[in-house]
Structure 1
Amino acid sequence: MRKDDFFEIIKDASEINGQVVSLIRLMILWSLNDISPEWVTARQIKGALHAHDGSLYSNLDALEEMGYIIAQMSKYESKEIKMYKITNAGIAEWKKISEWFQKITRCQEE
């Protein structure tokens, strides 16, 4: 790794919202961005990520408060369920994080 690469990665890290950089939050953003850009239920996210209820819901709430995902209530088989979708801000943040990880990976390969 070149010294300049290291400093660029550190500079780019300062542009990422540190509150998003936890494994579960990254996986939620990734899944909503890449796997299902449409409305999905918490149960679908839970099944895909094998997450526990407490961890999943608290992180969905945190991402919603940050404006990276939105939620809406929907009726399904006469039941009210909460549906989630990534926002444009969430897509932009995921893109920054993804590009940052790619830079780190490239440096490790050199």
Structure 2
Amino acid sequence: MLNNHNLRISSSLPLITPAALSEQYPVKPDQAQFIANSRQTAARILRGEDPRILAIVGPCSIHDIAAALDYAERLKELRAHTGGRIEVIMRVYFEKPRTIIGWKGLINDPHLDGSYE
């Protein structure tokens, strides 16, 4: 009998589970607190309980980690200059989900060479 199941798949690798990923890269307590505080601040602004402007800014997708870190540092400086009037959150996305033709993002092609490995 001819095996014609999954003819387009040449190989596959299992993905790491979220639990294993969290164990391998644990969040430090100060990082967890920063995330929680940032989420609470954004929620208060959106509910109108905080008078600041919420600005969520960033590139379409990240393809250059060094450039993304530089951008983050610049936003941190900009945030300091707003005098607390604007809450700046950097949008970070490693994928381009709406892209049909072309590069799909760093999460799909981390080596930026079209190999998608």
What range is the shorter-chain TM-score in?
A: under 0.3
TM-score (norm. length: structure 1) = 0.24
Higher helix proportion (structure 1 or 2): 1
| Larger RCO (CA under 8 A, 6+ residues apart) | 1
Higher strand proportion (structure 1 or 2): 1
TM-score (norm. length: structure 2) = 0.23
Structure of higher CA gyration radius: 2
